Structure 1
């Protein structure tokens, strides 16, 4: 639903689009920019249910065409902003997001995402009327005027520019001219590659099909449908639109709307604008310092977007790249993509100068969490984790009832090989207890010293949506102050990349790193142990073997140098944090086991634990409890009749596909 929003051009400022009923035709009104100052608009409108949110994502193109039809019927005047918010409940100090549309100019490219974006941002969209002929440079000035006015109003908050295709060029041009303003660019298939695309050939093809929409309105038979299919294959714009729309009938019925959005004269004007926009933006890439996220499609039939994404990724100094191999040009209208989830997964959501992993964290929705957990379903099925916890009276129970519901809580345990335990822990605690556990993770899951051969940072986006955060004392302080559940592995990389025969050996620092911080906030410390890696595979080639080979030693050094180093100068084993991939001999998969000990209270011990000796004593107590939990699990799992995946598979074959598979007697 459209609401009243700020609307202005270089010469005109006006309220835009107030629609009281869904079927009401949109009306435009204008007034002088001198009489009304630009302002934010907070509207009280009906919130759409989560099911409606899913439906809109599934039918992005259909919703786009429906609303675009109403929008262009009320068209006229210069380019302007409108606010399309579905829901008026925003977070405090929500940053401004400006959507800059592609070649069609309607401004509804984010229609599938309006509801979720409206909770996190003050969302404005740029509408360029069909008959408008504003040059690209004037569009740059229009957006520039907006961001400068908003920057004066809120200089400590970022402004997001989401640019699609032509809008990507517009966002880059504005960013190059306003380096002093804190901008975050999100560019979907930016048209900076237009000079290398085949879209320019459409000028001649348009002359060959002058009345295509009129012909299609009468199409009915298979012969005409075949001719239409062949014609569409020669027109990338129509072909790109047809894919998401689905069948022939649906697409054919949408052609009159598409023809109204981009009539021949407008289309030719936009093609010329793309030429100038691409050249303008490319000539100023060197000046761009803004934080940038590139989203590129693998099946873009209009632009060479993946190659362009790689180019921009290497040219822009503060840039991240995400690839969508199965997506087409109109990325935001595809049901498989959720822009809010992408922003959260890349840690690009912030309300200040820097992303704050405590105050800027937006907990995942149920849909987001389920989708992420589902992506690890095969791993969770193979490991079939057994979870045990300890109640306040000391009783050990199956499940996670012993983990305190109210934070702050610090879960402290051992790392299994390659840190494969984190996925099971975060998934199971969320599924069973509906608790978001903020896992403390190595910075290599967030950024790199340099680009190289480590897995892409994007492979950790799902875990970032679930709340992992980089190791830092300031982050731990903020999370404890917000009463979070925090997951900590003191052994870090050294424990995760251990050598042969070092399974379940703790490599913790000699000095306490978390006790006094936990005591400051009265956090409950829950020690836990985990076992099972040796039932998945056995390390047969480790670091000591690999460094004897000069080439592999050099590769290990390169990988280690890509990652941000931690604990430099602390001495001992934990300082030796080489990043490498050990040689692992797979086994018939066994099972993972986790045992959470009795929570240790620090409430009221703040003064006591300021003493170095006292805090060190509690630190060793926690470490000893983790070792006890590991020893308990190693002994008990020997009596688990369903330790092997073979016996578990047989059980599920006879009892149905249930995740609740029995284990040893407690």
Structure 2
């Protein structure tokens, strides 16, 4: 366990849109002869809801709602880095808002060829702009995981909020009837978040996943209310939406310069980025004015008011799995306070905060919706998230970001990695570690699991191997334990493939030939008491040997030392339990935690959750030693024998202890064990140089 429908083009349609036939089952048909950029698919053909509903009913009687595709002529798939942010949004918005009028409609920007047949449906519900391009920075990545439909509300459309709810609801019910086992994601931005919650409140029996960015349920406490009387006095030829957009898009230039300076970013780069953003905004001013003219802006403000009132009276009916994303620099809505309020009222809700982002969260270049979904284990193709089959490996950029976030810690710990070749030779590096899975790494869990950071990092950098850690279930479930890290603290572990420790997950990882990281001592080792450094607390029964033999997995024992050179436990579990107030907090917290090994006896059964008091030390160094590899290929029947299985188990445990003893002895001869000699060495040889260690 590791701690740490169809779309009828309006008159005057521009030449860059054309329609394509659909498949016999009513779903969008992939056209590999054409290079696709956009698909437009809507569920209504007339402006009136009564007509739209009759059309949907006829289509469902004919075998399902028909969806057509329209594509940009001469379009091509764009490089992700060239289609980010406001420039991409404004370029596509300029094309979409020209055909004014018509009812709300769905369009899909993804390519069928990029995703699997069992991909869940994702419906994006836009904010006050109504264009439906809020996820443009993530369309390519989302298109590999989801069947994406985005709602487009034309500028001159005046469909009330309650009718928009019915439109989305009709689509949700139709798709749920078509694929009842597939979850439907509703991603709502601002007023779109209200729309998503309203649909969820009216359909509690449909499997929905809500992802809500800065919900407008807080409209009653926002500055937007002050705009209504001002609009009545404003000349009709002026567009109040223009300064609205400019304020939200440009943000606070002075604050941006200050923040980037504090982060160590060159002032020249920051100034260039600001200049580019302002140039983009100035060249698209007519587009900004056309998106929210005065009459439309007045209508949207009234809709915000009705939407907020509508859903706030129905929050108790929202039972769907919900993830709220709230910005710390939202200049329109008190989003972080509202996120906290909603997280307390909704029964199945998590929250993530983005302190440096503004109102248009999804337009922030630093925000990646796909990464957020992966970090929060929200991606699933069935009723429940499967940590094996639903796992989406981190992308190269995600891995690079994780490595960069941990670069300082890895540099300070300056880990030494030793491994054992087949002939028994000890070598520096990971050359002796098997590259082909399944492989099970079994080792000692250092204090607070600090060793997992350099361990996972080095395997990625040197071997391009992702270690799938077996972790305690508390890393995947929101708890209210006082003094314990918030669940968001473990987002990176989930992104990198950690799974809750359970026999079914263990089985699935072996079946997928993964490289698995297991700590038999679990929490008892990672939260050990004073004086228990490098002591193994393994169960008496062989928990992993038979499972490994079933798949012919290799078992690699390893030891790690160095925690005593980084910190010392001065207050442990026994000390805290002597203080009545702290004892009550720990006991109350333990009631919320899933208990493991309840049938076990001895110290390994004492899986108490607490945070030890630690005095930091002048940083030393981490040392890893991967010992002899134990083969289980062809030994499945042999290891069914209890004695044989126990014998191999004890051999693995002894090898871990031997590795620890070897490292404790040999590190005494390392002239660079202390951080000062290492810094001096790197100062003369370059800070990216590999610092030597003891002779092997």
TM-score after normalising by structure 2:
0.86
Name 2:126's counterpart in structure 1.
101
Kindly state the Cα deviation for residue 574 of structure 1 after the two structures are TM-superposed. 1.3
Alignment of 1:406-425 (within 5 A): 406-425=436-455
Name 2:218's counterpart in structure 1.
193
1:499-552 Cα offsets, whole Å, 9 max, x none, are 111100000111111111111111111100000000111112222222222222
Name 1:594's counterpart in structure 2.
624
In structure 2, distance between residues paired with 1:255 and 1:137:
32
The 10-residue stretch of structure 1 (263-272 or 82-91) with the greater mean CA deviation from structure 2? 82-91
CA RMSD of aligned residues (A): 2.7
Q: Is residue 101 of structure 2 the alignment partner of residue 76 of structure 1?
A: yes
In structure 2, distance between residues paired with 1:409 and 1:62:
47
In structure 2, distance between residues paired with 1:496 and 1:173:
45
Name 1:657's counterpart in structure 2.
687
In structure 1, distance between residues paired with 2:104 and 2:6:
12
In structure 2, distance between residues paired with 1:436 and 1:292:
29
Q: What secondary structure does 2:557 align onto? A: strand
The 10-residue stretch of structure 1 (579-588 or 477-486) with the greater mean CA deviation from structure 2? 579-588
Alignment of 1:536-575 (within 5 A): 536-575=566-605
Name 1:123's counterpart in structure 2.
148
Q: Is residue 289 of structure 2 the alignment partner of residue 242 of structure 1?
A: no
Name 1:377's counterpart in structure 2.
407
Name 2:266's counterpart in structure 1.
none
Q: Is residue 305 of structure 2 the alignment partner of residue 266 of structure 1?
A: no
Name 2:513's counterpart in structure 1.
483
1:38-61 Cα offsets, whole Å, 9 max, x none, are 257799998857xx223433xx11
Q: What secondary structure does 1:402 align onto? A: coil
Question: CA 1:170 to 1:408, structure 2 compared with 1: closer, same or farther past 3 Å?
Answer: same
Q: What secondary structure does 1:88 align onto? A: helix
Name 1:318's counterpart in structure 2.
348
Q: Is residue 228 of structure 2 the alignment partner of residue 203 of structure 1?
A: yes
Name 1:443's counterpart in structure 2.
473
8 A contact 2:236–2:294 mirrored in 1: no
8 A contact 1:402–1:598 mirrored in 2: no
Q: Is residue 203 of structure 2 the alignment partner of residue 178 of structure 1?
A: yes
Kindly state the Cα deviation for residue 559 of structure 1 after the two structures are TM-superposed. 3.5
Kindly state the Cα deviation for residue 277 of structure 1 after the two structures are TM-superposed. 0.8
Name 2:265's counterpart in structure 1.
none
In structure 2, distance between residues paired with 1:554 and 1:535:
32
In structure 2, distance between residues paired with 1:261 and 1:127:
12
Q: Is residue 673 of structure 2 the alignment partner of residue 643 of structure 1?
A: yes
In structure 2, distance between residues paired with 1:22 and 1:600:
51
Kindly state the Cα deviation for residue 427 of structure 1 after the two structures are TM-superposed. 1.1
8 A contact 2:185–2:211 mirrored in 1: yes
Kindly state the Cα deviation for residue 238 of structure 1 after the two structures are TM-superposed. 3.5
Unaligned runs of at least 5 residues, structure 1: 10-15, 216-230
1:192-246 Cα offsets, whole Å, 9 max, x none, are 111111101112333555478689xxxxxxxxxxxxxxx99xx655411222994
In structure 2, distance between residues paired with 1:43 and 1:633:
65
Q: What secondary structure does 1:455 align onto? A: coil
8 A contact 1:98–1:126 mirrored in 2: yes
The structure 1 residue matched to 2:564, chosen from 508, 511, 534, is 534
In structure 2, distance between residues paired with 1:114 and 1:23:
10
Question: CA 1:412 to 1:539, structure 2 compared with 1: closer, same or farther past 3 Å?
Answer: same
Question: CA 1:136 to 1:604, structure 2 compared with 1: closer, same or farther past 3 Å?
Answer: same
Q: Is residue 634 of structure 2 the alignment partner of residue 604 of structure 1?
A: yes
In structure 2, distance between residues paired with 1:27 and 1:310:
36
Kindly state the Cα deviation for residue 393 of structure 1 after the two structures are TM-superposed. 1.8
Question: CA 1:17 to 1:203, structure 2 compared with 1: closer, same or farther past 3 Å?
Answer: farther
Alignment of 1:360-371 (within 5 A): 360-371=390-401
8 A contact 2:38–2:107 mirrored in 1: no
8 A contact 2:41–2:149 mirrored in 1: no
Q: What secondary structure does 1:73 align onto? A: coil
Name 1:338's counterpart in structure 2.
368
Name 1:405's counterpart in structure 2.
435
Kindly state the Cα deviation for residue 353 of structure 1 after the two structures are TM-superposed. 0.7
1:477-519 Cα offsets, whole Å, 9 max, x none, are 0111111111000101110011111100000111111111111
In structure 1, distance between residues paired with 2:596 and 2:377:
21
Q: What secondary structure does 1:155 align onto? A: coil
In structure 2, distance between residues paired with 1:360 and 1:589:
39
Name 2:325's counterpart in structure 1.
295
The 10-residue stretch of structure 1 (563-572 or 383-392) with the greater mean CA deviation from structure 2? 563-572
1:418-470 Cα offsets, whole Å, 9 max, x none, are 11111111111111111111001111111145464421111111111110111
Q: What secondary structure does 1:276 align onto? A: helix
8 A contact 1:46–1:87 mirrored in 2: no
In structure 1, distance between residues paired with 2:87 and 2:67:
29
In structure 1, distance between residues paired with 2:348 and 2:142:
23
Q: What secondary structure does 1:112 align onto? A: helix
8 A contact 1:97–1:161 mirrored in 2: yes
8 A contact 2:7–2:41 mirrored in 1: no
Kindly state the Cα deviation for residue 564 of structure 1 after the two structures are TM-superposed. 2.2
Name 1:429's counterpart in structure 2.
459
TM-score after normalising by structure 1:
0.90
The structure 1 residue matched to 2:80, chosen from 53, 56, 59, is 53
In structure 2, distance between residues paired with 1:139 and 1:26:
18
In structure 1, distance between residues paired with 2:110 and 2:355:
30
Q: What secondary structure does 1:579 align onto? A: coil
1:286-309 Cα offsets, whole Å, 9 max, x none, are 111111000000110111100110
Kindly state the Cα deviation for residue 592 of structure 1 after the two structures are TM-superposed. 0.4
In structure 2, distance between residues paired with 1:394 and 1:366:
34
In structure 1, distance between residues paired with 2:312 and 2:399:
39
Number of residue pairs matched by the alignment: 635
Q: Is residue 38 of structure 2 the alignment partner of residue 38 of structure 1?
A: no
Q: What secondary structure does 1:594 align onto? A: strand
8 A contact 1:48–1:87 mirrored in 2: no
Name 2:31's counterpart in structure 1.
none
In structure 2, distance between residues paired with 1:505 and 1:22:
60
Question: CA 1:348 to 1:243, structure 2 compared with 1: closer, same or farther past 3 Å?
Answer: same
8 A contact 2:523–2:607 mirrored in 1: yes
